[in-house]
Amino acid sequence: MFILNLSVILFFMGVLNFISNRKHLLSMLMSLEYIVLSLFLLLFIYLNMIMFENFFSMMFLVFSVCEGSLGLSILVSMIRTHGNDYFQSFNILQC
């Protein structure tokens, strides 16, 4: 039960980090990846506790890698068009 509680604490620490760091896109992406890894840990522990196969956790990892690569491509395109990754330097409503 300690490891299960630890993964829940790690998840909430990642959420607090995501809420507190809103200036840079890169720090937000890193905190989102931290949240995904803590969810993977929670899923892996839960599936091992109920003696279930870990195929779903591998699918979760595949989708999290795809989400990470999409975030990095958005970051690269934003840096190419705007020059930095500050959210205050551009308006989201403009085309």
pLDDT in tens, 73-84: 988 888 888 777
| CA triple 29-34-35, angle to 5 deg | 95
Beta bridge partners of 1: none
Average pLDDT along the chain: 85
pLDDT bracket for residue 54 (50, 70, 90): confident
- pLDDT at site 88: 66
Q: Please return the burial class of 76, using the count of CB atoms within 10 Å of its CB with bins 0-12, 13-18 and 19+.
A: exposed
Domain residue spans in the chain? Answer: 2-82
Q: What is the pLDDT of residue 91?
A: 63
Q: Does the domain at residues 2-82 carry the CATH identifier 2.20.28.10?
A: no
Residue 65: per-residue pLDDT: 92
Query: Residue 83 has what DSSP assignment?
Result: S
Tell me: pLDDT of 93 over 80: no
Question: ∠ CA 80-67-15 to the nearest 5 degrees?
Answer: 100
Identify the pLDDT of residue 36.
93
- pLDDT at position 69, please? 93
pLDDT recorded at residue 23: 80
75 vs 53: CA distance, rounded Å: 35
Give this prediction's pTM: 0.81
Contact predicate 1/21, CB 8 Å: no
CA separation for the pair 30, 25 (Å, rounded): 9
